[in-house]
Amino acid sequence: MAELEALYENKEQNLRNGWRNALPTNQPIKLGRAYGQADWWMNDNLISSFHATIQWDGEKLTVTERTPPPTNRIYYQSRPQPNFTIAPGDSFVIGNTVFMLHAGSASMVASGGGDRGDVTIPAEASFTRAQLRQVPFDTSATFLRALEQIPDVLRLANDEDMLFRNMVKVGLDALPHADALAVVQIPNEATDNDKRVLVRNHLQRLSGKADIFMPSRRLAFRAIRQDKKSVAHVWIGEKSEDMTMRMDSKLPGVPWAICTPFKDDSGWGLYADGRLPKEPAVIGGQVRDKELLDYQKVIELIAGLIESTRKAHHLDRQLTMYRRFIPRRLWSDASADQLDDLLVPRLTKATVMFCDLRGSCKFAEEGEADLVDAWADLSRAIDDMTTAISAEDGIVAGFQGDAVMAFWGWPDNDDDQIERAVKAAMGIRRRFDKLGWWKNLSCGIGIAHGQVMAGRMGASELAKVDVFGPTVNLASRLESMTKRFGVRILVDEAVGKYLTEKRWSQARVRRLGRFTPAGMTKGLMVSEVLPPEHEPVQGNLKESIRRSWDEVVTMFLAGEWGEARRRFEQFFSNDPTAKMLLEHMANSNNVPPKGWAEKPEIVLDTK
């Protein structure tokens, strides 16, 4: 995967800051200075809060300057250019920051054929986290001042990028004899014979060394992949290509480096390097230096804080995802014990919705050349459905193929549950109309109200909130019938009666007739839900036409088929439901069958 690297030299603070991020394909990314206004940001005062947009298409990176143009232009090939494309190996400049495009992570640090065998073997000190906890802290004012930043850093770290950048700064502030601190990773493809190190984010003191930060592959690989504990290397005497820095004879001190792995099996670690003012004691190849030991303890502490925060962020993302499937009022109003009580299955009156995407198979087949885009479009459509449901405090009980099942009326038997379900259905319809989903996909919605069993179902590890009963089956049948009736939303008799008696201003009801859905034995009045008359949406009816339709349906149900047929043919000849009713009358020679007066129902033979 291609990656974009940014390097910024802040000469006022004598620091070099850098990050390196993988580029997603066909996804626009904002570059800038301000977190929140830019997706990827760098603290360069010559970069605007939002400066440019970049997009990787798999072969080249397109860079587009914002509109209106920022004060400081983007320089490519030493000239200001508002729009251009670059290939791997190229770079561009904004302010004091150089942005370099790399073909992939393998090039982040040259893998080569391993470290030279004739170099000086470094002295080392390695400790587990438990061992470092036993070491007493020799706290200094510098260290304590650095730690003062941690509460604000953790509180404000809304994502991993901000967490890494700010904790790297805290770590460097806490280590006065460190030249650089970085978050590094050993990629999965790295091996003993092909050691590779990825640098996600680093901060470097320019006074410590002039060269670009380059971690020791051998040290990082050993600490993160092999030993999985904090390892310190000190290079005493002869120069080594394994050293972190390109040694400059003018720089005094003994070079050292420490790498501490994260204990979450991510392959990430915290890496620091610098120079000791004096040569440390070495006994049997093991370093015995109090300052270096303190540094290992500090780095271990910061690595542990990063781990814990990353885990908290991960859990928060999971919780946010799961919250979409439960009513908002349960997010914070209920304790763990209360939630356990609420989840106990029980009988309740509920309103159930089935919402199904149709045409997705054809859509995927036509988009076979670009299944990624087809998948993304389907995901967005389903996300629109679940968002509309959760906005009305509905519970998403599950997914069946391209269908979403949701319900209202649990854990509380709310008086407005039918209204909420219908509002969610209308929201889905409006969303599909606005985004033009109907061009490629259709969406049928069925809503039914009645008694169900609702609550937690399944083993504890795989448990989910679910709903069960004839009302669920009816909602599913109604959703299937929308295609045959040529409508968007169908509701059962209980919902239609409620909306009619309520005279609700946000939706209207069009009775379609009494039907016995396929696979069921009991007939019911089936109705279509329409938006208010003033909404200019596809398939909507003027109120006068809806009333005329209702009169004809009343005639049909009363057995006045001659007049009903005449009006259907004259005024509603193109209506799919009218065509179905006309076909039914024709099959009975336009005469109501025996028993029609007692049971004016049409039995549907297919779903």
Q: Hey, what domains does the chain have and what are their CATH numbers? A: 3-107 (2.60.200.20), 123-314 (3.30.450.40), 329-540 (3.30.70.1230)
pLDDT tens digit sequence for 100-114: 999 865 434 433 333
Asked whether the predicted pLDDT for residue 302 surpasses 80, the reply is yes
Per the structure block, which two tokens stand in for 470? 């004839």
Are the C-beta atoms of 389 and 406 separated by less than 8 Å? yes
In the predicted model, what is the mean pLDDT of residues 435-463? 76
Answering whether pTM is above 0.75, one says no
C-alpha 208/C-alpha 245 separation (Å) is: 10
Mean pLDDT across the chain: 83
More confident residue, 199 or 353: 353
In the predicted model, what is the mean pLDDT of residues 363-367? 54
The predicted pLDDT at position 334 comes to: 53
Are the C-beta atoms of 300 and 132 separated by less than 8 Å? yes
Asked whether the predicted pLDDT for residue 135 surpasses 80, the reply is no
The predicted pLDDT at position 106 comes to: 42
pLDDT band at 529 (very low <50, low <70, confident <90, very high): very high
Per the structure block, which two tokens stand in for 523? 């007939």
In the predicted model, what is the mean pLDDT of residues 310-328? 68
Are the C-beta atoms of 220 and 269 separated by less than 8 Å? yes
pLDDT tens digit sequence for 243-295: 444 344 445 678 889 999 998 888 899 999 988 888 888 877 788 888 888 88
More confident residue, 139 or 239: 139
The predicted pLDDT at position 163 comes to: 86
Are the C-beta atoms of 541 and 548 separated by less than 8 Å? no
Closest CA to 57 of 36, 17, 27: 27
The most confident of the ranges 182-196, 413-427, 438-452 is 413-427
The predicted pLDDT at position 246 comes to: 38
In the predicted model, what is the mean pLDDT of residues 332-344? 62
Asked whether the predicted pLDDT for residue 512 surpasses 80, the reply is yes
pLDDT band at 127 (very low <50, low <70, confident <90, very high): confident
In the predicted model, what is the mean pLDDT of residues 226-253? 64
3-state secondary structure of 264: coil
